[in-house]
Amino acid sequence: MKHEFTLEFWEDDGWFVGKLKEVPGVFSQGETLQDLEENIADAYKLMSRDDQAGNRPPARTKGIVLEVA
């Protein structure tokens, strides 16, 4: 099954780092943009498999206040 997502990425110390905007928690990196795309696809597959198998504890949320100087 194919899913379409938005890959948000940037360069950090020579690595491509990215996340899927529509799926919080799916981050990865790669030496090239193609490596990043392959790695983030693997990360999504692993996360999806854990979700379907019920291997992940339920998520919790908490409001916080951050002071930014």
Q: Domains in the chain: how many in total?
A: 1
What are residue 56's phi and psi, to 5 degrees?
-110, 130
Predicted TM-score (pTM) of this structure: 0.74
| Structural domain range at position 38 | 1-69
Position 28 confidence tier, pLDDT thresholds 50, 70, 90: very high
Min mean pLDDT across 13-17, 39-43, 65-69 is at 65-69
Pairwise CA distance, residues 29 & 24, whole Å: 15
Please report how many Cα atoms fall inside a 13 Å half-sphere around the Cα of residue 28, on the Cβ side. 22
Instruction: CATH number of the domain at 66, please.
Output: 3.30.160.250
The answer on pLDDT for 2 being more than 80 is: yes
Greater confidence, 61 or 34? 34
Neighbours of 61 (CB within 10 A): 5
